[in-house]
Amino acid sequence: MSTLFNWNETFLTGLPAIDHQHQRLVELINDLGELVMSSDAIDTDAFAFARDALLDYVGSHFSGEEALMEKACLDRRHLEQHRAAHHAFTQEALVLGESGQGITADRARELVDFLVNWLAYHILGVDQSMARQMRAIESGQTPQTAYDEDLGHTQARTEPLLAALSGLFQLVSERNRALRALNQELDERVRQRTAELERANQQLHVLSIRDDLTALPNRRFAISALDELWREARHNSTPLSVLMLDADRFKQVNDTFGHATGDAILRALATRLQDAVRTSDIVCRLGGDEFLVICPRSPRDGATQVAEKILASRAPFHAEDGTECWNGAISIGVAEVQDNMMRPEDLLRAADDALYIAKRQGGAQASDG
């Protein structure tokens, strides 16, 4: 009988270990497909054995692939999207493959259809993206740049994916002419599934760079943006400064008034910072009561003026009953890129050291690093 999933060079990622594992996955899926397509009566024991062998290998492959991505230092956005795709596949395959007292022919074919469709999409889409980003990082790009530039390959991935799915539908049609009417329905299902995955990836991207409490960009975004602006500053010989901010005596607020009040203060502080900075400045929450303001193309003097404006906007925070919960004091460390700094982390460290000095001197002030 015809092979359900035909492996060819279109599916090669250029990563020998991954390509070898993908070929093994295809072999296991074809073994499962042969059981399903060879007869209307499904041998449930043989099917369960083939299915479990596939799922065991999938688990091992996914773990190895994720370890490889971590080792290659891929952008966290891709890592999270890739892991989410792996998790979704595993969960759906388990649900589809639950046999109970036996598995019907329709359920078995549904599982095989899902496996083939998903693997074709995943190899041609997410795994090819992973391989491209790894090669880009090896050539000297930062993980963020490699991720962002690879987004432009989306259209290029669409055509081979549709071709792979079209081949699948033709093979199914050869087995039973009665299934021809189902091809359009399956085609639409795949397109909808692909669109859902793309929307889910977009949502994951938004969630991965936004702080849930304040809706400000989070630490992940801050580090990524700073890395890009650092490269721009070095390449164009333009200034770059940052402010590291910390709410004074904030722990006492949580201890005295509770975390709900503390959260309300952090939201108010986030608004205060956004109102005080310039339109070109980027306000991020790093975590807890610590914030970062990135000042692109701004020397220390400009950043210091921003810090002074933030300090001047100080206002106490009151509870609903009028009780003052926090006096609004914050400490700020100011730092600008210097010639002896080798990495963005050096700039953050200088700002953090300056923040420590401001704290040690009593807080409610800015200090230069």
Q: Is 31 a catalytic residue?
A: no
Taken in order 355, 358, 359, 360, the sign of the CA dihedral is: positive
Contact assessment for residue 325 and residue 318, using Cβ atoms and an 8 Å cutoff: yes
Contact assessment for residue 143 and residue 70, using Cβ atoms and an 8 Å cutoff: no
68 CB neighbour count, 10 Å cutoff: 15
Q: Give me the catalytic one of 211, 246, 289, 352.
A: 289
Distances (CA, A) of 188 to 179, 184, 193: 15, 6, 8
What is the rounded distance in angstroms from the CA atom of residue 250 to the CA atom of residue 261? 11
Buried b (16+ CB within 10 A) or exposed e, 10-33: ebbbebeebbebbeebbebbbbbb
195 CB neighbour count, 10 Å cutoff: 10
Contacts of 78 (CB under 8 A, 6+ apart): 69, 129, 130, 133, 147
- Extract the tokens encoding 139: 């050539």
What is the rounded distance in angstroms from the CA atom of residue 210 to the CA atom of residue 115? 33
Contact assessment for residue 274 and residue 283, using Cβ atoms and an 8 Å cutoff: yes
Q: So which residues are the catalytic ones?
A: 289
